[in-house]
Structure 1
Amino acid sequence: MDEAEVIEVQVPVDPAYLAVLRTAAAGLATRLRFTLGEIEDLRIAVDEAAAMLIAGGGKGPSGGGIAPGAEMTCRFDVTEADVTVSVSVPGTGRLLGTDTIPWRVLNALTGTVSTRESESSTTITLVKNRTDGND
Structure 2
Amino acid sequence: MITSGVGARSDVELRLPADGAYAAVLRTLTAGLAARLDFTIDDIEDLRIAVSEAAAMVLDEADPGADLVCRFRLMPGELGLECTTTSAAPSTPDYDSFGWQVLTTLTTEAVVEATPGSYTVRIAMRSSLDLQ
Q: TM-score, normalising length from structure 1?
A: 0.84
Q: Does 1:24 align with 2:29?
A: yes
Count of aligned residue pairs for this structure pair: 125
Q: Does 1:42 align with 2:37?
A: no
Structure 1: stretches of 5+ with no match in the other structure: 57-62
Aligned runs of 1:1-135 on 2, under 5 Å?
A: 1-2=6-7, 5-56=10-61, 63=62, 66-68=63-65, 70-91=66-87, 92-132=89-129
| Distance change >3 Å, CA 54–CA 2, structure 1 → 2 | closer
State the SS of the aligned residue for 2:50: helix
Q: TM-score, normalising length from structure 2?
A: 0.86
State the SS of the aligned residue for 1:97: coil
| Distance change >3 Å, CA 4–CA 79, structure 1 → 2 | farther
Letter in 2 for 1:47: S
Q: CA offsets, 1:76-131, max 9 Å, x none?
A: 00001200000101114245311111100001111110111343211000000012
- The two structures, once aligned, show a CA RMSD in angstroms of 1.9
Distance 1:125 1:74 in 2: 10
Distance 2:33 2:92 in 1: 26
State the SS of the aligned residue for 2:59: helix
Distance 1:2 1:116 in 2: 27
Distance 1:122 1:94 in 2: 9
Structure 2: stretches of 5+ with no match in the other structure: 1-5
